[in-house]
Amino acid sequence: MSEHEYVPKSKAAKWFNDRLPLLTLGAHLTDYPTPKNLNYWWTFGGILTFCLITQIVTGIVLAMHYVAHADLAFGSVEHIMRNVNYGWLIRYIHSNGASMFFLAVYIHIFRSLFYGSYKSPREIIWILGLLIYLLMMAAAFLGYVLPWGQMSFWGATVITNLFSAIPLVGDSITTWLWGAYSVDNPTLNRFFSLHYLFPFLILGLVVLHIWALHIPGNNNPVGIDIKKPSKDTVPFHPYITIKDAFALLMFMIIFAGFVFFSPNVLGHSDNYIPANPLVTPAHIVPEWYLLPFYAILRSVPDKLGGVILMFSAIFILFVLPWLDTSKVRSAVFRPIYRQFFWILVIDVLMLGYVGAMPAEGVYLALARVGTIYYFLHFIVVLPVVGLLEKTDPIPMSISEPVITGGAEPSLARKINEKV
Amino acid sequence: MVLSNNYIISTLQMSKEEKKVKRRDFLFTASYVVGAVGIGAVIWPMIDQMNPDKAQKALATTEVDISQIEPGKSITVLWRGKPVFLKRRTPEEIQEARAVSLDDLPDPQKDEERVKEGKDEWLVMLGVCTHLGCVPLKDKGDYNGWFCPCHGSHYDVSGRVRKGPAPTNMEIPKFEFVDNNTIKIG
Amino acid sequence: MKKFNLIINKIIIILFLTIVSSQSAEMTDPIKVDWSFKGITGKFDRASLQRGFQVYKEVCSSCHSMQYLSYRNLGEPGGPEFTEAEVKAIAASFEVTDGPDNQGEMFTRPGRPSDMFVSPHPNKEAAAAANGGAYPPDMSVLVKARKGGANYIYSVLVGYEEPPTGVKLDQGVYYNKYMIGNKIKMPNNLEDGLVEYADGTESTVEQMAKDVTTFLAWAAEPELEERHKTGVKVIIYLVLLTILVYLSMKKIWSRVDSEK
């Protein structure tokens, strides 16, 4: 790649770069050859980086005014909203930012599922991404507890009680998590500490995620390997940066719409009632981005079984690269898989919907069907379809997307070398 | 890299399209400038949030009951998180303060300028050493006034610095007499 | 494929409709009021806020606290915008507990603008004890804390009715068609002509309910006007920058696209 040729122009820069090759890194990132056919679904990596930085910056600022004490937390949030200069703006960016972060990460994940970005040689990128996603869920949950409203308190109670399903040691673990005999001030205090920690762990994993990405390079909508740099690639800057910037701005318009015009629509009104350990709200619902998993949890009539199934729904994604037997990456050339992909999208959306509804009657039935299908998709559909499916002809290079006849990788390579 | 070379060559050849290039430059400059303005507008709230908030600004005044203070005695009250010394001075102390020649003062200021006219016995002063912010001890030091234990600044009975590293006299806050028994600071 | 999607869509829509229609009709949907603070350029009606404060002070405040508000808020931009002198007078009309003094005793003094709203009861337990065991909720963020927001609060205030036959009410419980479960422990405190508005507005129940709800909506979201104003500016700015960046992007990518 081009960074090997990079030599700083000035002597001082060369002196510095020999000792710490930051300039080489900068040049690598700038010139990084990127497939030129990336569509807008590929802009969500940049958008997610923006989301993470926004959450970290606004979070550090909020921590300057927030008080992590059961008696004072709710009031300190009101203090931020009413007294702190621009406090309302910063808090609304942070609280809506969490939702926007998840919106972007779900699009990012489903993009990967559609175009087969998790497949060899990108398994590690995929696994790092899942770890980021897990930490995001943990950070979001911990953060939701901090305002110490009714949903904070009861959400914390319900989620920490999941651990009590573990045989023998469950109760001890739950008490240990609480630091008390219920969710209480010690719980709030440690949740605040961990909520401050997790984003920096995520940041570290993001660096690894991008590092791992830069080894094989980006996948692309066609899903074929490309030679870099070549006619099929463009330098990251300015081509990809400007495209990412455009997509990010569109995303920010939606973000701003929520922050300024309906800042509480994604939250729950009960969280403006101070935490009360004596009264549980009528409907306990997690934030929208956790609803599908919540539906899976509730679809099982057994405490331990529900918890195991819910965690399995996430952990099954870790072995996804080995469950998918297809040699073709992109769903563009996989007519059967493509249909199952959309069914999975609908299935997850439906699980999200029933997760927000009371767990009874038709909702429970739907949740069960949805849960079974979710697992079937990964355990049965993916391996079987991969083996049986007749894929469409694959182009030899990005520049020549329309070809006749089957894929002939060796031929493609020859053509690429001529360019 | 092939690409950008091609691009350079093609732009060189396109002399007739110079106008287009100019428009392109304008577009990029405009994008950068507008973008920079936006970043500036976002940074300001992040800085301003550390300034005193509305509740802090509203707590600007404190009322103090001074009816219990005997001549020669002083009390200390809290105002904006800082100590304020309220000293009721004896006629001898006032005389002593006024007898000092301005030439002997590092920060020349008449005692009359440090008290309210007609209420000469009341010295209301921010009890913070002007050196590095410690609270001076009363009735200590070489000038019958205050002495800062941190770095050895001496203040006289008018709160003026006489010796030591402090650069200026102790500050007089804004205050007024609400009535004979009440002082409002701030 | 498309057919398949259509079928699934239909199934989802049908399920959704049956679910929505089957939800139990325990409470009536709140009345939709055309609030002045709705929409992206919404602002509070200043006169209504001032009247609403009067209703709060004369009616609500004998039971409900508003502990997160302070008297100075009443004069801040975007709120009732009482003059500085009016705010001082309002604050001074309340007895505020302060202290301890030099003797270690608590004492009362007239309120100052920087004081928080005085609560009618020293704590939650006292408030509940004085109200038949039901704690009258703090009203600082009440509008945000209720599904349905201002419409819901307004509806409850005007929603008192004689209970339908067959509904039995305990002592101290009242029938309200908009309340969840239709039972409410707050009596109907509003009646026509209850307060005498300084601006001569006729104080009907609807008028008072509307005014006090407006006041509560402001109390819950005092930043609303600034938020709306800033929001419009931010969106305009973002759209402008998006257009610039879009044109720049087209220019930059034309180098690649022209090679095809």
Kindly list the residues from chain A whose CB atom is less than 8 angstroms away from the CB atom of residue B54: 82-85
Chain B residues with beta carbon closer than 8 angstroms to that of A61? 46, 49
Digit-coded pLDDT (tens) for C52-106 = 999 999 999 999 999 999 999 999 999 999 999 999 999 999 999 988 877 899 9
Q: Alpha-carbon distance A178 to A172, whole Å? A: 10
Give the model's pLDDT for residue A4: 55
Beta-bridge mates of residue C109: C96
Interface of C with A in 147-186 (CB under 8 A): 147, 149, 180
pLDDT for the residue numbered B129: 95
Q: Do C248 and B27 touch (CB under 8 A)?
A: yes
Closest CA to A326 of A127, A124, A114: A114
The enclosing H or E element of B83 equals: strand B82-88
Interface-testing mutation among B53, B57, B59, with chain A (most A C-beta atoms within 10 A): B53
Nearest to C248 among B6, B31, B58 (CB): B31
Answer whether C238 sits within 8 Å of A75, measured CB to CB: no
Which residues of B are tagged catalytic? 151
- pLDDT(B16) > 70: no
Residues in chain B closer than 8 A to C114 (CB atoms)? 55, 58-59
Query: Quick check: B48 contacting A, CB < 8 Å?
Result: yes
Beta-carbon neighbour count of residue C242 at 10 Å?
18
A246 vs C245: CB contact, 8 Å cut-off? Answer: yes
Q: Chain A within 8 Å of B46 (Cβ-Cβ)?
A: yes
Residues 6+ apart with CB under 8 A from B137: B146, B147, B148, B149
The whole-angstrom separation of Cα B79 and Cα B126 is: 9
CA distance C142 to C213: 10
Label residues B167-177 b or e (16+ Cβ within 10 Å = b): eebbebeebee
| Opening angle at CA C255, ends C250 and C260, nearest 5 | 105
| Residue located via tokens 């806050």 | B173
Q: How many residues are recorded in chain A?
A: 419
User: Residue C83: exposed, middle, or buried by beta-carbon count in 10 A (0-12, 13-18, 19+)?
Assistant: exposed
Instruction: Say if CB C245 and CB A242 are below 8 A apart.
Output: yes
pLDDT for A315? 96
Tell me whether B151 touches chain C (CB under 8 Å).
Answer: no
DSSP A95-126: HHHHHHHHHHHHHHHHHHHHHTTTSTT-HHHH
Q: Quick check: C237 contacting B, CB < 8 Å? A: yes
Q: Could C235 and A89 be called an inter-chain contact, meaning their C-beta atoms sit closer than 8 Å?
A: no
Task: Return the sign of the alpha-carbon dihedral for residues B64, B65, B70, B71.
Answer: positive
What SS3 class is residue A324? coil
More confident residue, A27 or C24: A27
Chain A residues with at least one Cβ partner in B under 8 Å: 2, 31, 57, 61, 64-65, 79, 82-87, 89-90, 229, 231, 234-235
- Show the 3-state SS of A357-406: CCCCHHHHHHHHHHHHHHHHHHHHHHHHHHHHCCCCCCCCECCECCCCCC
Burial class of A243 by CB neighbour count within 10 A (0 to 12, 13 to 18, 19+): buried
pLDDT for the residue numbered C28: 82
Q: Render B137-182 in DSSP notation, one character per residue.
A: EEEETTTEEEEETTTTEEEETTS-EEESS--SPPPPPPEEEEETTE
CB-based contact, B42 to chain A, within 8 Å? no
Q: Looking at this predicted complex, what is its ipTM?
A: 0.91
pLDDT at A124: 98
Find all residues with CB under 8 Å of A368, minimum gap 6, and list them: A299
Neighbours of chain B (3+ CB pairs under 8 A): A, C
Whether the CB of C11 is below 8 Å from some CB of chain B: the reply is no
Lowest mean pLDDT among A39-53, B20-34, C161-175, C208-222: B20-34
Q: Where are the extended beta strands (E) located within C164-229? A: 174-175, 183-184
User: How far apart (Å, rounded) are the C-alpha atoms in residues A74 and C4?
Assistant: 49
Q: Is the pLDDT of residue B1 over 60?
A: no
Asked if B47 has any chain A CB less than 8 Å from its own CB, the reply is no
Q: Under a CB-based contact definition with an 8 Å cutoff, are residues A218 and A42 in contact?
A: yes
What CA–CA distance (Å, rounded) separates A369 from C11? Answer: 14
Q: How far is A257 from chain B (nearest CA, A)?
A: 16
Three-class SS state of A311: helix
C247 contact B CB<8A:
yes
Give the B:C interface size as CB pairs under 8 Å. Answer: 39
Surface-to-core class of residue A406, CB atoms within 10 Å of its CB (0-12 exposed, 13-18 middle, 19+ buried) = exposed
Between B102 and C8, the more confident residue is B102
Partners of residue A82 in chain C, C-beta under 8 Å: 68-69, 73, 222-223
- For chain A, 419 residues long, the average pLDDT of each consecutive 10-residue run is 70 95 94 94 98 98 97 97 97 98 98 96 98 97 97 95 93 96 97 98 98 96 89 93 97 98 95 95 90 94 94 96 95 96 97 92 95 97 95 85 47 42
Q: Which residues of A touch C (CB under 8 A)?
A: 36, 75, 78-79, 81-82, 88-89, 92, 231, 234, 238-239, 242-243, 245-246, 249-250, 252-253, 256-257, 259-261, 263-264, 269-270, 272-274, 282, 338-339, 342-343, 346, 350, 353, 357, 362-363, 366
Nearest to A239 among C12, C144, C253 (CB): C253
Asked if C248 and B59 come within 8 Å (Cβ–Cβ), the reply is no
Which three-class secondary structure state does DSSP give residue A315? helix
Residues on chain A touching B55 (C-beta within 8 angstroms): 79, 83
Nearest CB among A82, A238, A245 relative to C68 is that of A82
Within 54-93 of B, beta carbons closer than 8 Å to C belong to 54-55, 58-59, 61, 68
**Confidence tier at B148 by pLDDT (50, 70, 90):** very high
Orientation of helix A22-31 relative to helix A11-19, angle to 10°? 100
**What Rg, from alpha-carbon coordinates, does chain B have?**
30
Can you give the pLDDT at residue C8?
A: 53
Find the closest chain B residue to A58 by CA distance: B46
Whether C121 contacts C130, CB under 8 Å:
yes
Q: The dihedral of CA C99, C100, C103, C108: what is its sign?
A: positive
Nearest chain A residue to B49, by CA:
A85
Chain B residues within an 8 Å CB radius of A398? none
Kindly report whether the peptide bond that precedes residue B136 is cis, defined as omega within 30 degrees of 0: no
Whether residue A253 and residue C235 make contact (CB cut-off 8 A), yes or no, is yes
How many whole angstroms from its chain centre is CA A393? Answer: 32
Q: Which of C103, C226, C241, C257 to mutate to test the interface with B (most CBs of B within 10 A)?
A: C241
Pairwise CA distance, residues A217 & A223, whole Å:
12
Is the Cβ pair C253, A250 closer than 8 Å? no
Omega of the bond leading into A292 within 30 degrees of 0 (cis): no
How many residues make up chain C in this entry? Answer: 260
**Chain B residue with the nearest C-alpha to that of C253:** B7
Q: Residue B147 pairs with which residues in a beta bridge?
A: B137, B154
Contacts of A350 in chain C (CB under 8 A): 12
Interchain CB contacts (distance < 8 Å): A and C: 98
Cβ within 8 Å, pair C248-A252: no
With pLDDT > 70 as the criterion, what percentage of chain B qualifies?
87
How far apart are alpha carbons B11 and B17 in whole angstroms?
8
Tokens 């079937």, located at residue:
A376
What mean pLDDT is predicted for residues C100-127?
Answer: 91
Interface contact B102, partner C, CB < 8 A: no
